[in-house]
Structure 1
């Protein structure tokens, strides 16, 4: 079947995407090549934050560059990590004398790139701490967290870490807060229809007319949870139960809930899913104190969603309420 997307040249997808984004968010960001740079960076006197990742997941991650979140996002081609040299250039640009926090989602290309950047920064005597998000519970148990993929849970972590940096905390303090948040969250996804690659139209898979797959990754990786399509309440019961056990959450705990649409899930569905998740957690005596609902980290037109839950404490809640403004997020 012919792909229907409003594109021009498959070879310039990311370049054109970033050109359009620079025009749309000209009050918030500058774009230099594949670097998306917050306009607040030039006056930053604090720890700064750099992240990296391929295009094709909009608004993540570039949509979260701005005041109170990411300082520089290094954008790779569609579903591909950027080059280590480009990330190293971003680290040098971001460094304001207080150190740089490099936040990385656990995917093979991103990790290889980040590890090389850390060596380059060490040789250049630039102080960098790396924090990895690896919260996808579907492909490894918590004791093997290094094998878990990074999903949409990175987005709230960006704001928590940036708020800590705004308070003047040291690089080690900011990195420790980011790591604590990364350790306190978990995500699981479900897909009901797979995406197509925007450069060639190839599908990531076929889930048929009646099935869904719990645990499918951002790039079509199998999750092992293929089953007949279920209602919102039934799906939330399966997914939220798994997350509560993994974190773990107990009666009296406070938490954050994200319903992240994958690109082709309606807001009607997302709000119903959120309502069902809040009710599920309340029945366990767990209080939902903050949320994100919407398309946050997408996979083109994949239909489904990611459910992210994080255990919160008073410090996390305070940091979350710090003002922030990006193209895709504001507090």
Structure 2
């Protein structure tokens, strides 16, 4: 049965807890100063996700070309009963939960198995957490939900304590947005939060035909392009900048050396941009780029190494029939 620690709120009284950062995280001013004022120009992908950007990402997951979300959801649907039965969680704690849409496959499995647990979704966006919690409460009236507002980049040292078994969930191949060393540090950090009997469920995109990978980030409807370009509007709003999105184009290419997709904004013209809050100007050459996201892809061997090098034990490796995507279940 679900753990009844007092930190868990009833569905009718869902209140977001705020996770105290364990370490400082750069804000948009610092990230822009470090990434935009020197070459090569870069920007962290977290700034994609304002309200409009989050809506655009949901549309990306519905495009014909973007297989990762669809394939991961199918894997969860197929193996959720096994995941719940073998992990037997008192709490499902999801890092970067977003809309919690795919996590519902795990709750459906709980219903099928007659298993009760509670859910702790963690995300940086409080509005999204509250909306997802409300929707989940309407669908699963037995599910106690305790949303956590926080940025996992700021560390996990201050996660609420919990005495039962936890299933840590990190889906969407978000682990691919980390540089390899940072990805290993993050899995190490999760491992330090786990106790004997806890599990980690990790979703990861796989190395495959570059044409398939590039198509997933260059959909014919231009949704990913709009998603990429929207970050310029975020910069305009947050930095009092004057980027003109129509003067840029979207580009996403596979880098075989680093086994990753690299997404960039390409300046179509020579242009000057003023960044008001930085009291700085930048000059972009025609063809110059801003790297906005990397998405590393994995092999079975690199996934196993990621898990075992953290001290976790690989329990199950669920693979799509076409080897496009993997779900890893590991235990302390």
Question: Is TM more than 0.5 here?
Answer: no
Give the structure with higher Rg (CA): 2
TM-score, with normalisation over the residues of structure 1? Answer: 0.31
TM-score, with normalisation over the residues of structure 2? Answer: 0.31
